[in-house]
Amino acid sequence: MMMRMGSVMRKVVCLLAWLSVGQVSGSYLPQDMNRTLQDLLQHYKISKSDIYDGKQVFPKEELKGKMESQMLFMGGVLEAYEKLIVHMLKELPTPSPLPATSGDKVDTSDPSTAKPLAAGNTRSNLNKVLEKIRDLKLHSYKEQVKILHELQKLKHIEMDNIKVQGKALWELPWIYEKANSLADNVMRRRRRRRRQTRTKSRLGA
């Protein structure tokens, strides 16, 4: 159980660091979101050796290929973030009414009130991050997430079902033709781009 919790904690900290301003060179991360992430990193602490062990939760190598592939991979990353943050929210203690002192002010120095307050802040911060991720998915990665959901369905094909086997063979000629056609179109597009690049180079010489 402790090993599982340690693994989850490592994923939490790595995903927060992956999102934080120290990991990006652009200006797309809002300041309020960065502050929220920094607050969360104070709550979800692991050692530096765990953070920099060379094992990323979301490998950045996948974001160095073609733009279409990067967009598809990033759609999957955002989907994973959403699921993980929802899981993190479920792990937080259930909110309960805080006891008040004289004058209806909460005594934050009292351990019995400080812990629920901290959990409440963490819950609020996680919900803020979750809202940002869902908004980004909805407005910029809807098509990619839809494709990923369709790919997930392929994992549940009934391989032992004779009807499925027969229908799959019946559909294969069209699938095979389409797969080759797509690959051929990609190759033609690449060759056309290379020719255009060479033409521009000669004209600019």
User: Tell me: the pLDDT tens digits for 79-109?
Assistant: 999 999 999 999 998 876 655 555 555 554 5
Q: Which residues contact 108 (CB under 8 A, 6 or more apart)?
A: 114, 117
Cα–Cα distance between 38 and 25 in angstroms, integer?
A: 17
- The answer to whether 76 and 162 have CB atoms below 8 angstroms apart is no
User: Which residue in 65, 56, 45, 67 sits closest to 23, CA to CA?
Assistant: 56
Q: Which residues contact 56 (CB under 8 A, 6 or more apart)?
A: 14, 18
Cα–Cα distance between 130 and 23 in angstroms, integer?
A: 19
Range of lowest pLDDT (136-140, 173-177, 186-190): 186-190
Confidence of residue 203 (pLDDT cuts 50, 70, 90): confident
Mean pLDDT, rounded, for 152-168? 93
Confidence of residue 2 (pLDDT cuts 50, 70, 90): very low
